[in-house]
């Protein structure tokens, strides 16, 4: 960040999250309401780190049952069969079907855990007041936020399959408990990404600049 | 921080907001809730995890890790988790995750087996598994002892404990066409099945375990006879051909039949696992077992080809025992080869009965009886039982003309007298005739005959000469015939003269007295 750029925080100004209006905090108050849209104002997202941590931990907790519990139960004439995500990946893995298997592996296993690790890294780096590779960290955050919704693909596919394949008594597909946890992981990581305030990434740097200045 | 009272700017002041002191964000409830749910799921999962058991199979054919289920009466109670080879690569060990609350039936004598399509003899089973794949099922044991490692049965047990009935044990020397699942018949009604069979350790007998369903098991009592009802038993007798079968099914796949001989008294049903003998056929089954068998020795001075161990010994057609041993011995004194045949005879079958309930006859009485019979001419004889196969049997009968014999009771076994067999008797007669024929002086007879024939030749020549002479005499131009002709002619003339004379005499009878009158 170039030194010439000063942040709203440095100017002692609030920026409204909803309408983007800059306002000066009311007298004696650090935080107030937006004069235009009545939105609660804060210099930074309130308790951003705490909330992000909370969502992230919840997501990490849910990630375990999401992978251990079966996501789909296929009932055929041969009997009921429950598969976890990883079993599905193994099932799909064949000389010709490996790209599909790879997609499932990346979308359903690697991306959620990648998001959790990325957010954890961002949180830790912010808490430690790191000023290194800010731009990369901001890009990382952007990626996490962008990719978040696509993890739901797996949940969508499973729910569609479950609703379409209902050929009782020959075959039936039903979602299992694992799917709920998987959806929870996706939602919680999205919430975590949202509650994180990327401005915190460059706050330490601007503070340093202020001190230097 | 920049000064608050800085020169006025177009940026407006924000409105005052009541502040909440939020030291610990409420958002922490979310991970706590997530953790609680996760923990709860984990607890439920662990709670729902039944015991893990190991089942050793001979082959994992049809079994699939993570797919093959364990069914009990159609209920899914477990799943094969892993399949691996045993350390010696001889067996397959399947680790099975059982459903919770299954500990109760994982006991010592619970038996597992894989259900696969199976076609054996009469039964086709497990066809459903053609589509659904094999599954494992089991029969719950009764033992109170828990167990986690089992050995699967190679074949599904025919009889599972849920059908009431009783097991019985049959002993046989020949399995015949008996197989696991072979039906057991009672009055042509299928009342049970063969549960298992195994060779005894000594390799001599087979033990067949059968299961007779209730309520038919009550018809099995200690007197019941079991026999192999397999195939067709055709017997040719004086009354014609009789064919004995149980059913078409048993003809094809064999079977075991049982029957209880009709006796006056009602016997209590046999205890479970009572041991019976499995006879080869009905006739054998009904052959009463020897009660007091006695061994006798018979010595034959003839070929015993066709006399086998087990050949029947009968008395006037009634079976009284069998041949137990046949061997040849040389008599050193007489330098004769003799055939020794040991026979066991059940005197009971000859109607030698004492007071009811008393088995056997006292020794002394028995001896007296045998002595008496031998002195009256009781002799053993080898007879041909079957002309086609030449099989022989030992027949006892009375031959009052037989040479006297004294039974020596000091020997063991006691020797009974024999007389030559039927064929042997014929042979002996023929030999006698032959001997006599041999004594005929064929040479001399021949010589005489030749002489006679030579004389005859001479006679014939003489005769021919005589005939020739006669011929010559009778020829027309011979002297004799000419003389004869002239004689005859003269005789004819004489006859004419005589006629003339008689004619003249008729006309002139006086001439007889007066003579011929002178011609005037």
Each residue's pLDDT tens digit, B420-447: 776 666 777 888 888 988 888 888 899 9
Under 8 Å CB pairs connecting chains A and B tally to 114
Asked which of B295-299, B338-342, B406-410 is least confident by mean pLDDT, the reply is: B406-410
A144, A37 contact by CB (below 8 A):
no
- What pLDDT does B311 receive? 82
User: Are residues B214 and B248 located together in one domain of the fold?
Assistant: yes
Q: Are residues B334 and B420 in the same domain?
A: yes
Give the lowest-confidence range in A2-11, A34-43, B274-283, B289-298: A2-11
Same domain, B396 and B305: yes
**pLDDT top residue among A14 and B148:** B148
> Tell me: the pLDDT tens digits for B86-117?
888 888 899 988 888 888 888 888 888 888 77
- Residue B337: what pLDDT? 81
Question: Counting Cβ atoms within 10 Å, is residue B56 exposed (0-12), middle (13-18) or buried (19+)?
Answer: middle
Interface check for B356 against chain A (CB to CB < 8 A): the answer is no
Query: Does any domain span residue B485?
Result: no
Q: What are phi and psi of B120, to 5 degrees?
A: -140, 115
Nearest chain B Cα distance for residue A10, angstroms: 6
Q: Are residues B334 and B414 in the same domain?
A: yes
Using the predicted structure, report yes or no on whether residue B263 has a pLDDT greater than 60: yes
Contacts with A81 (C-beta within 8 Å, 6 or more apart), sequence order: A73, A74, A75, B67
- Residue B129 sits in the same domain as residue B208: no
Q: Where are the alpha helices (DSSP H) in B150-291?
A: 248-253, 282-286
| ipTM surpassing 0.90 | no
The confidence score (pLDDT) of residue A73 equals 82
Rounded CA-CA distance B312/B344 in Å is 10
Examine the pLDDT at B357 and tell me if it is beyond 60: no
Count CB neighbours of B302 within 10 A: 15
d(CA A146, CA A111): 12
Which residues on chain A are in Cβ contact (under 8 Å) with B22? 46-47
**pLDDT value of residue B476:** 74
Instruction: Report the candidate in A91, A84, A146, A72 with the shortest Cα–Cα distance to residue A109.
Output: A84
- Window from B68-72, B243-247, B405-409 with minimum mean pLDDT: B243-247
In this structure, the answer to whether residues B236 and B275 fall within a common structural domain is: yes
Residue B320 vs residue A80, higher pLDDT:
B320
Instruction: Answer whether B13 touches A (CB < 8 Å).
Output: yes
CA B130, chain centre distance (Å): 39
Q: B368 lies in a domain?
A: yes
Cβ-Cβ contacts under 8 Å, A184 against chain B: 34
Torsion of CA B281, B284, B288, B291, to 10 degrees: -120
**What is the least distance, in Å, from the CA of B58 to any CA of chain A?**
23
Which distant-in-sequence residues (6+ apart) come within 8 Å of B103 by Cβ? B50, B51, B146
**What pLDDT, on a 0 to 100 scale, did the predictor assign at position B123?**
63
Share of chain B above pLDDT 70, in %: 80
Residue among B17, B67, B69 minimizing CB distance to A32:
B17
Rounded distance between C-alpha atoms, residue A194 and residue A198, angstroms: 9
Residue of chain B minimizing CA distance to A207: B1
Give CA separation, B171 vs A76, B186, B208, in Å.
Answer: 48, 18, 6
Q: Give yes or no for B4 touching A (CB within 8 A).
A: yes
pLDDT surpassing 80 at residue A96: yes
> What domain range is B108 assigned to?
48-151
Put simply, whether B23 touches A (Cβ < 8 Å) is no
User: Is the pLDDT at B249 greater than 90, yes or no?
Assistant: no
- pLDDT-derived band at B495 (thresholds 50, 70, 90) equals very high
Q: What is the rounded distance in angstroms from the CA atom of residue B475 to the CA atom of residue B485? A: 12
What does DSSP assign to residue B28? G
Mean pLDDT of B173-188: 82
- Shortest CA distance from B32: residue in chain A: A58
Q: Does residue B268 carry a pLDDT above 70?
A: yes
- Please determine, for residue A213, whether its predicted confidence score (pLDDT) is greater than 90: no
* Residue B460 falls inside a structural domain: no
Distance from CA of A192 to the nearest CA of B (A): 11
Q: Is the pLDDT of residue B394 over 80?
A: yes
Please indicate, yes or no, whether residues B124 and B244 belong to a single structural domain of this protein.
no
A190: contact with B, CB 8 A cutoff: no
Q: Sign of the CA dihedral B279, B281, B287, B290?
A: negative
Average pLDDT, chain B: 79
B356 pLDDT band, cuts 50/70/90, is very low
A32-33 and B75-85 strand pairing:
unpaired
Q: Is residue B504 part of a domain?
A: no
Chain B, 56-95: which have a CB under 8 Å from a chain A CB?
66-67, 69, 76
So what's the pLDDT on residue B358?
45
Q: Is A54 on the interface with B (CB under 8 A)?
A: yes
How far is Cα of residue B344 from the mean position of the Cα atoms in its chain? 22
B220 located within any domain: yes
Predicted local confidence at residue A117, as pLDDT: 92
Quick one: what percent of chain A has pLDDT higher than 70? 84
- CA B371 to CA B377: how far, in whole Å? 10
The confidence band for B239, taking pLDDT boundaries of 50, 70 and 90, is low
Task: Locate the chain A residue with the closest alpha carbon to B41.
Answer: A65
Whether residues B272 and B307 share a domain: the answer is: no
| Listed ranges A151-155, B160-164, B195-199, B235-239; the one with the highest mean pLDDT | B195-199
pLDDT of res. B290: 59
Calpha distance B192→B345 (Å, rounded): 36
B307 and B430, same domain (yes or no): yes
Q: How far apart are CA A27 and CA B5, in angstroms?
A: 10
- Spatial CA neighbour of A39 closest among A55, A59, A54, A19: A19
Given a cut of 60, is residue B2 above it in pLDDT?
A: no
DSSP run (H or E) holding A73: strand A72-76
Same-domain check for residues B396 and B279? no
Is the domain of B241 the same as that of B334?
A: no
Q: Report the candidate in B141, B162, B150 with the shortest Cα–Cα distance to residue B73.
A: B162
Residue B430 is assigned to a structural domain of this protein: yes
Q: Using CA atoms, how far apart are residues B278 and B255, in angstroms rounded to an integer?
A: 11
Q: What is the mean pLDDT of residues B321-342?
A: 83
Per CB-CB distance under 8 Å, the chain B contacts of A55 are 27, 30-31
d(CA B344, CA B323): 6
CB-CB neighbors (< 8 A) of A50 in chain B: 24-25, 27-28
% of chain B surpassing 90 pLDDT: 6
Query: What's the pLDDT tens digit per position in B20-71?
Result: 555 676 778 888 888 888 888 888 878 877 888 889 988 888 888 877 888 8
On the question of pLDDT at B520 being above 60, the answer is no
Do B332 and B416 reside in the same domain of the chain?
yes
Which residues, including other chains, have CB under 8 Å from residue B244's CB and lie 6 or more apart? Answer: B232, B233, B234, B235, B281, B282
pLDDT score recorded for residue B354: 47
Cβ distance A31 to B35 less than 8 Å, yes or no, reads: no
- In angstroms, the separation between the Cα of residue A22 and the nearest Cα of chain B is 7
Considering the domain boundaries, does residue B253 fall inside one?
Answer: yes
**Domain contains B349:** no
Flag the least confident range among A10-19, A104-113, B465-474.
A10-19
Q: Which pLDDT does position B351 carry in this prediction?
A: 59
Domain termination site, one of B254, B285, B316: B285
pLDDT in tens, A119-163: 999 889 888 877 778 888 888 888 888 887 777 777 787 788 888
Higher pLDDT, B121 or B213: B213
Position B125 pLDDT exceeds 90:
no
Cross-chain Cβ contact B17/A22 below 8 Å: no
Last residue of a domain, one of B151, B173, B207: B151
- Please give the tally of structural domains in chain B: 3
From A35, A46, A61, residue closest to B14, measured CB to CB: A35
**Interface contact B17-A41, CB threshold 8 A:** yes
The better pLDDT of the pair B265, B172 is held by B172
Which band of pLDDT confidence, cut at 50, 70 and 90, is reported for residue B269? Answer: confident
Q: Check pLDDT > 50 for residue B360.
A: no
Q: Does A41 touch chain B (CB under 8 A)?
A: yes
- All residues of chain B having their beta carbon less than 8 Å from the beta carbon of residue A25 are 13-14
Give B263's Cβ-side CA count (13 Å radius). Answer: 13
Q: Write down which residue in B375, B405, B435 finishes a domain.
A: B435
Distance (Å) from the alpha carbon of A9 to chain B's nearest alpha carbon? 8
Quick check: B159 pLDDT over 70?
Answer: no
Q: What is the mean pLDDT of residues B112-133?
A: 72
Distance CA B400, CA B28 (A): 122
What mean pLDDT value characterizes chain A? 79
3-state secondary structure (DSSP) of residue B242: strand
């Amino acid at each position: 960040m170039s030194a010439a750029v000063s942040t709203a925080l440095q100017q002692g100004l609030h920026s409204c999250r909803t309408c983007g209006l800059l306002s000066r905090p009311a007298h004696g108050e650090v935080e107030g309401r937006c004069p235009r849209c009545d939105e609660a104002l804060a210099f930074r997202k309130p308790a951003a780190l705490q909330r992000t941590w909370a969502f992230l931990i919840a997501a990490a907790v849910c990630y375990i049952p999401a992978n251990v519990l079966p996501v789909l139960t296929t009932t055929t004439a041969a009997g009921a069969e429950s598969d976890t995500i990883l079993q599905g990946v193994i099932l799909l893995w064949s000389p010709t079907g490996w790209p599909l298997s790879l997609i499932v592996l990346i979308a359903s296993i690697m991306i959620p855990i990648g998001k959790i690790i990325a957010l954890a890294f961002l949180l830790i780096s912010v808490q430690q007041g790191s000023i290194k590779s800010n731009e990369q960290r901001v890009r990382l955050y952007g990626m996490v936020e962008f990719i978040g919704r696509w993890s739901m693909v797996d949940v969508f596919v499973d729910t569609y399959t479950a609703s379409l394949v209902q050929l009782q008594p020959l075959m039936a597909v039903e979602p299992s408990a694992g799917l709920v946890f998987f959806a929870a992981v996706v939602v919680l990581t999205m919430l975590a990404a949202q509650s994180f305030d990327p401005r915190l990434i460059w706050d330490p740097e601007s503070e340093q600049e202020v001190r230097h200045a | 921080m920049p000064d608050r009272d800085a020169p006025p700017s177009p940026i407006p002041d924000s409105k005052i907001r009541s502040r909440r002191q939020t030291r610990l964000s409420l958002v922490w409830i979310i991970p706590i809730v997530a953790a609680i749910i996760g923990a709860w799921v984990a607890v439920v999962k662990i709670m729902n995890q039944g015991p893990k058991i190991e089942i050793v199979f001979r082959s994992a054919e049809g079994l699939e890790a993570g797919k093959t289920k364990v069914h009990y009466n159609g209920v899914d109670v477990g799943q094969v988790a892993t399949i691996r080879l045993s350390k010696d690569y001889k067996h397959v060990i399947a680790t099975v995750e059982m459903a919770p609350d299954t500990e109760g039936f994982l006991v010592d004598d619970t038996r597992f087996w894989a259900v696969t399509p199976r076609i054996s003899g009469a039964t086709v089973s497990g066809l459903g598994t053609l589509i659904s794949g094999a599954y494992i099922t089991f029969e719950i044991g009764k033992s109170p002892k828990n167990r986690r490692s089992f050995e699967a049965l190679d074949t599904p047990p025919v009889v599972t404990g849920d059908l009431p009935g009783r097991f019985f044990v049959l002993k046989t020397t020949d399995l015949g066409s008996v197989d696991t699942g072979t039906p057991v018949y009672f009055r042509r009604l299928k009342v049970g099945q063969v549960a298992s069979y195994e060779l005894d350790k000594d390799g001599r007998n087979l033990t067949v375990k059968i299961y007779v369903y209730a309520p038919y098991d009550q018809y099995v009592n200690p007197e019941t006879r079991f026999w192999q009802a397999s195939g067709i038993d055709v017997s040719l007798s004086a009354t014609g051909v009789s064919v004995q079968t149980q059913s078409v099914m048993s003809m094809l796949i064999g079977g075991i039949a049982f029957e209880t001989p009709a006796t006056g008294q009602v016997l209590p049903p046999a205890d479970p696992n009572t041991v019976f003998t499995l006879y080869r056929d009905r006739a054998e089954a009904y052959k009463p077992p020897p009660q007091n068998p006695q061994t006798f020795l018979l010595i034959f001075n003839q070929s015993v080809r066709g006399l086998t161990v087990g050949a029947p010994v009968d008395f006037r057609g009634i079976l009284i025992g069998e041949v137990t041993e046949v061997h040849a011995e040389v008599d050193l004194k007489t330098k004769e080869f003799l055939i020794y045949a040991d026979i066991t005879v059940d005197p009971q079958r000859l109607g030698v009965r004492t007071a009811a309930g008393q088995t056997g006859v006292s020794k002394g009485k028995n001896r007296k009886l045998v002595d008496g019979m031998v002195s009256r001419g009781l002799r053993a004889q080898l007879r041909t039982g079957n002309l086609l196969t030449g099989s022989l049997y030992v027949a006892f009968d009375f031959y009052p003309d037989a040479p006297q014999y004294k039974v020596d009771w000091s020997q063991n076994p006691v020797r009974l007298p024999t007389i030559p067999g039927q064929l042997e008797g014929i042979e002996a007669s023929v030999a006698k005739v032959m001997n006599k024929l041999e004594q005929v002086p064929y040479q001399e007879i021949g010589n005489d005959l030749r002489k006679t024939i030579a004389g005859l030749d001479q006679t014939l020549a003489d005769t021919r000469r005589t005939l020739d002479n006669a011929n010559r005499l009778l020829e027309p131009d011979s002297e004799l015939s000419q003389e004869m002709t002239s004689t005859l002619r003269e005789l004819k003339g004489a006859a004419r003269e005589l006629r003339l004379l008689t004619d003249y005499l008729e006309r002139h009878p006086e001439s007889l007295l007066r003579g011929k009158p002178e011609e005037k």
